[in-house]
A = this chain, B = another copy of it.
């Protein structure tokens, strides 16, 4: 077999249309996680991320996503979620709930706002009430949940798998 030659820093895969995917974060404990989410979102071609409170992107972690992504910081999420819904976004929470669907089989709509939860407390009840759907990543062992930034990256991957060209 031919040799595998490392080929880093390739030009990114082109999207036929811009990603209609928005990442929405509640107030988070750690800007490390916010920044990790931004890096993964940047890699997925996401251009809009909505955060709360004191969110800010750390250069060493978020890297070039700081230029690629428009970060909106709000005081609370509910008014933003109402606005996103009015703009036609399906509000999909990433959370283990009584009604969550498996990410393995969940059909994303192109126009999706992916709502993630706080590291410690997850998605708070009043935000859960505002959601259209909830998805969860099947867990097979211990620990019983992924880190929030890891889970978000996995959900973003699944969205991209379903919409490989935007």
**What is A's interface to B at a CB cutoff of 8 Å?**
2-10, 12-13, 15, 19, 36, 39-40, 42-47, 61, 63-65, 67-68, 93, 95-100, 103-104, 122-123, 125, 128-129, 131, 134, 137-147, 149-150, 153-154, 157-158, 160-161, 164, 166
Contact = CB atoms under 8 A, between A and B. Distances in A.
Nearest to A2: B99
B44 A141 contact: yes
Given A36-B150, A144-B8, A157-B157, A3 B129 contact: yes
Determine which residue in A36, A42, A134, A142 has the highest number of CB atoms from chain B within 10 A of its CB, and name it. A142
A6 B19 CA distance: 29
29 contacts: A3-B129, A4-B99, A4-B134, A5-B128, A6-B95, A6-B122, A6-B125, A9-B145, A10-B139, A12-B141, A13-B140, A40-B147, A40-B150, A42-B141, A42-B143, A43-B137, A45-B140, A45-B141, A61-B147, A65-B141, A67-B142, A103-B157, A104-B164, A137-B157, A138-B164, A140-B160, A146-B153, A150-B150, A150-B153
Contact of A97 (B7, B39, B96, B139): B7
A140 to B, nearest CB: 3
Nearest to A95: B6
Contact of A96 (B7, B47, B161): B7
Given A8-B96, A42-B142, A140-B13, A157 B154 contact: yes
Contacts of A131: 4
A140 B5 contact: no
A39 B146 contact: yes
